[in-house]
Amino acid sequence: MDLFARLRAAFAVGDTTDPLGRSLVVEQFRILRKQVPVLYAVLLVDSISVALVLPLTVSAWLRFGLPTALLALCLLRLVQWLRLKTVDVTPEQAHRELRRTRVVAVLLNAGFVVWILALFATVDPDLRAPIALLVFMGCIGTAYCLGSFPAASLLTMLIAGTPNRDRAARFG
């Protein structure tokens, strides 16, 4: 199996062509539907925690603006999931929602990474470790909540949780 095929398999949503795949997609969706409120609570608490450790010298845009925009996207997505809470979904609907979840995971993780990197560029070196710890805790919490859907959980760890030598060299 070549590298591209392995990557595609690692981030695949699931298969709805056979009965076992259809059942798995629906079950992944059902479990994820229960975890989503916890996921967004983790992101909310983590973002507020990061904002609380920031000095008053950090711009309002970085302290409140960008995280508010990210949390608004989280809230929108949470409302969408809550609407699906009592709905019996077909395998095709579950597949579509899981694909959306994978895309939202990429967008939210990238947004939070941009926010944190911007913060790292503006805060004193003494604050980088507590911020990094809070971000990593949020990343682990998010990956845990997405555990029933490995494609999104893996994307979270790759985008937000993987240490990067370039980041460390620039900010550490």
User: How many Å apart are CA 167 and CA 170, to the nearest integer?
Assistant: 5
What's residue 166's pLDDT?
47
Residue 118 CA neighbour count, 13 Å, CB half: 18
- Report the predicted TM-score, pTM, of the whole model to 2 decimal places: 0.81
What's residue 169's pLDDT?
47
User: How many Å apart are CA 113 and CA 115, to the nearest integer?
Assistant: 5
CB-based burial of residue 72 (10 Å sphere; 0-12 exposed, 13-18 middle, 19+ buried)? exposed
pLDDT in tens, the chain (172 residues): 688 888 777 777 888 889 998 999 999 999 999 888 888 888 888 888 888 888 888 898 998 888 899 889 988 988 888 888 888 999 999 999 999 988 888 888 888 888 888 888 888 888 888 888 877 887 888 888 888 888 888 888 888 776 654 444 454 4
User: How many Å apart are CA 118 and CA 31, to the nearest integer?
Assistant: 34
Short-list 158, 139, 153, 129, CA closest to 32: 153
Q: What is the largest CA-CA distance in the chain?
A: 57
Per-residue tokens: 108: 């939210």
